[in-house]
Amino acid sequence: MELKLEPLRTPGLTNMEVGQLIIRHLTDIGTIDPALKTNTPFNDYISDLGLQSAEYQKGLTQVQMNEETKKIAMADADRDKANSAFRIALKLYTQSDVPEEEEASRSLDILLGAYKNLSTLSYEAETLAIDKLVGELSSPAYSGKISLLQLDRYVTRMKNANE
């Protein structure tokens, strides 16, 4: 019977698999009779590899997410929902049979055009943009239109979700 070594393609291994491979090699080398281990540089290398392997194992199981990350992501999703709800509620009034409501919705839609795709902005940029949008919706120029269309609760929801 002829044995043939196959090359190991290490780039195909995960970090955990490499860690296990190192442990396996160290375990197998540990079974060699100490009287046969006469090569000092090799013995030093194996000793050093054992020490480095312990550090490598610690690095493999690091927690990579902060607890606050999930809370922030959920808050951002709520903020996106609040913005979407406002836009949907406003869209309803574009089909109103009351000319004042239709005109108010058209005016507010023009304002919202400057704030489209808010959810694609970075977290900080989205926060600033919603602050500015809520400020403009609360200004004298738009607050009457918001009241006419009874969209105050949606503006409040956006403001609260953004905070």
pLDDT value of residue 135: 93
Q: What is the pLDDT of residue 87?
A: 93
DSSP 16-58: HHHHHHHHHHHHHHHTS-GGG---HHHHHHHHHHHHHHHHHHH
Specify the pTM: 0.60
Distance CA 30, CA 161 (A): 60
Residues of the chain with pLDDT under 50: none
